[in-house]
Chains A and B, each alone.
Chain A
Amino acid sequence: MTKVLEVKPAIVQSADVLTIKDLKAYYVNDLFGVRREVRAVDGISLTVRRNEVYGIAGESSSGKTSLIKTLAGAIRPPMRVVDGSVNFTFGNTKIDVYAEPEKMKTARWQNLSYIMQGSMSVLNPVRRIKHAFDDFAYRHMGLDRQAFRQRVQSHLQKLGLDPNVLEAFPHQLSGGMRQRVTIALATVCEPEFIIADEPTTALDVLVQQDVLGLLKEVQGRLGSSVVFVTHDMSVHAAITDRLAIMYAGRLAEEGPTQAMFDNPQHPYTAHLIASLPRIGDLSIRKSLAGKPPSLANPPSGCRFHPRCPIAVDRCSKEVPEMLPSAIGGRVACFRAGEVSVK
């Protein structure tokens, strides 16, 4: 018995659900003959494994939302995928998001669901909650009405929601309940892959903890993968297994969350983590001078070099590649592991 338990995670761990290769997605504006590119996603490669929570962190305007919109195939002009590929593996089917848009359409919601940013407003204010379930999930489940209703009710019960919320309008629910309903909506088809874009940002800390617990529980039960995006590092520390740090449209560092918090390799990661307040520590947190660069006109070389306290000449000339780091992840820095912020 124990042997099975030991072997199974190994197989599960090795399977990659999502593979992104050198993805470039720009906002391209062509106004009055002047072409402007905003490089929101600029050459990102990453993989997300089965049954893990993968965090994406970064400042505002670092391209987090653009990245996940791109990987969900939910972009529209002026955003454009310029280069690279996004591949999903659901069971035995492989889907190349941008080469096979038709296949992707059927996979949505069934295999891949999306908890959107500002998910407070994801529910139509003039429709009852049950109609939201009908509209979004009914088609994908292949059940008759009666069975579908029962499935939805039992699903809500599992998430600790009273099935009576189905009869309610969104404005009759509290923020936390609405958030839970959206999570229920995104997980009712038991998808293998869930994208969560700042689902807890508008909630207070207690409700946030509740919602995170719920999401983690659902993820554990379904054995699905979650890509979790937020700028809140404490949320990442609480929920994610692996973490990627984005800076100016590129990945700065990626690795196991715990190891990264203990021993950040990239100077930017180090500063992000150092900015977190700790109980009992009364010293004022140092902030990094400057602000994130414009993505329309990013700095040469490593994009972090103008703000980096340990930058050398080379940083402004060459672009650092993502190379294996000392803590079992990857890092894009010529001086990886040399920084210490206390």
Chain B
Amino acid sequence: MFKVLRDLLRYNREFLCGTLLVSIILGVVIASFFAPYDEMMTYAVIPDMPPGPEYWLGTNSRGQDMFWQLAASMRNTLMFGIVVALISRVIAIAVGLISGYVGGKTDQIIMAFNDTLGALPNIPILLLLVFVLRDQMTWPVLALTAALLGWTHDSRLIRSVAMSLRTREFTRHAAFSGMRTGQILLREHLPYVMPIVFFTTMNNLIWAIGLEVTLSILGFSDINRPTIGGMIYWANAHSAMVAGIWWWIAVPMVAVVMLFIGLFLLAMSVNEYIDPRSRLARMGA
């Protein structure tokens, strides 16, 4: 494992860049646990200070240090993204593999449901739920809702691969040797779709973070809890751009773009590594 990482860092430039970007973000996230002030507290420091030696990323009009705000926001936003991605991955893999392998009526019913859900617009549904639930709409509930909406594309993708795998000789061989359906799906088909799962996880993470940012900017989340979107919401509420406090908007934007690019580069290079054929091609075999 360690050797694999070392080789990837040494020979794969995309992986190196991705690792650097993501580790900067992760470093900031870890720093959030050592924050000197409560992240919810306002007017803890002098407001509207530009970035400088004392306040690295400046302070905002609510008297919060931007660095510690960013740290807490990144942690919360990333947490949201990961929870959404994990839950939706489990659903997407299960639905995709089962639907593709079992086929027939089961497949038709599952896919009808899948397509219906996929055709529904996500943002309006989430907005509606936010209005209905109001105070009960905590971030775990929001994450669960987003996860339940975010698996349909990927399950279709996985299903298409599973349908092809079903007719391959090794599946028939496995079935003949007496492996149960669950075993075939987990041990024969899951490794095959793993690169797709990995790549879509990264995509889904990016999508989930984007969703969180969108909802928070519009103010449809707990606005006192710092998140990337929440930071931009407050900056807009205080007309930061008009007031000339550009760093209030720039800091969360740059950070989230760094995270997106870092995740994308990681996804790309690890995806290439997971597929033994492209791995060997890179090694020159």
Q: Which residues of A contact B (CB under 8 A)?
A: 72, 74, 105-106, 108-109, 114, 116-119, 121-127, 131-132, 135-137, 139-140, 169, 171-172
Whether A74 lies near B170 (C-beta < 8 A) is no
Residues on the A chain within 8 Å of B176, using CB: 72, 74, 108-109, 114, 116
Residues on the A chain within 8 Å of B280, using CB: 172
Given A124-B188, A126-B192, check contact A135 B174 (CB 8 Å): yes
Complex partner residue of B178 from A121, A132, A140, CB under 8 angstroms: A140
Residues on the A chain within 8 Å of B191, using CB: 124, 126-127
> What does the 1/0 interface line of B184-205 toward A look like (CB < 8 Å)?
0001100110100000000000
- Top 5 A-B pairs, shortest CB-CB distance: A136-B177, A121-B169, A124-B170, A109-B177, A122-B169
How far, in angstroms, from A102 to B235 measured CA to CA in the complex? 69
Whether B188 lies near A135 (C-beta < 8 A) is yes
The verdict on B179 contacting chain A, using a C-beta distance below 8 Å, is yes
Beyond the given A122-B173, A126-B275, A127-B191, could you list 12 further A-B residue pairs with CB under 8 A, ordered by the A residue number? A74-B172, A108-B178, A109-B177, A114-B173, A114-B176, A116-B176, A121-B169, A125-B192, A126-B276, A135-B187, A169-B276, A171-B277
Complex partner residue of B170 from A108, A122, A137, CB under 8 angstroms: A122
When C-beta atoms are compared, the residue in chain A nearest to B190 turns out to be A126
> What does the 1/0 interface line of B269-285 toward A look like (CB < 8 Å)?
00000011100100000
How far, in angstroms, from A123 to B172 measured CA to CA in the complex? 11
**Minimal beta-carbon separation of A200 from chain B (angstroms):** 16
Given A124-B191, A124-B192, A127-B191, check contact A139 B178 (CB 8 Å): yes
Given A135-B187, A135-B188, check contact A105 B173 (CB 8 Å): no
Given A135-B179, A136-B174, A171-B277, check contact A116 B187 (CB 8 Å): no
User: Interface size bucket, B side?
Assistant: 20 to 34
Residues on the B chain within 8 Å of A72, using CB: 176
How far, in angstroms, from A123 to B194 measured CA to CA in the complex? 17
Residues on the A chain within 8 Å of B168, using CB: 121
Residues on the A chain within 8 Å of B179, using CB: 135-136
Which interface residue of B170, B178, B183, B277 has the most chain A CB atoms within 10 A? B170
Residues on the B chain within 8 Å of A140, using CB: 177-178
Complex partner residue of B276 from A74, A108, A136, A171, CB under 8 angstroms: A171
**Minimal beta-carbon separation of A329 from chain B (angstroms):** 31
When C-beta atoms are compared, the residue in chain A nearest to B165 turns out to be A124
When C-beta atoms are compared, the residue in chain A nearest to B172 turns out to be A116
Whether A123 lies near B177 (C-beta < 8 A) is no
How far, in angstroms, from A52 to B212 measured CA to CA in the complex? 69
Residues on the B chain within 8 Å of A126, using CB: 191-192, 194, 275-276
How far, in angstroms, from A242 to B66 measured CA to CA in the complex? 86
How far, in angstroms, from A332 to B280 measured CA to CA in the complex? 56
When C-beta atoms are compared, the residue in chain B nearest to A137 turns out to be B177
**Minimal beta-carbon separation of A81 from chain B (angstroms):** 17
**Minimal beta-carbon separation of B32 from chain A (angstroms):** 39
Given A116-B169, A121-B168, A122-B170, check contact A109 B188 (CB 8 Å): no
How far, in angstroms, from A119 to B169 measured CA to CA in the complex? 7
How far, in angstroms, from A57 to B173 measured CA to CA in the complex? 23
Given A72-B176, A105-B178, A135-B179, check contact A123 B276 (CB 8 Å): no
Residues on the A chain within 8 Å of B183, using CB: 135
Residues on the A chain within 8 Å of B192, using CB: 124-126
When C-beta atoms are compared, the residue in chain B nearest to A72 turns out to be B176
- Selected A-B contacts with CB under 8 Å, 24 pairs: A105-B178, A109-B177, A114-B176, A116-B173, A117-B169, A121-B168, A122-B169, A123-B170, A124-B170, A124-B188, A124-B192, A125-B192, A126-B192, A126-B194, A126-B276, A127-B191, A131-B187, A135-B177, A135-B183, A136-B173, A136-B174, A136-B179, A140-B177, A140-B178
Residues on the A chain within 8 Å of B170, using CB: 121-124, 132
Which interface residue of B173, B176, B191, B277 has the most chain A CB atoms within 10 A? B173
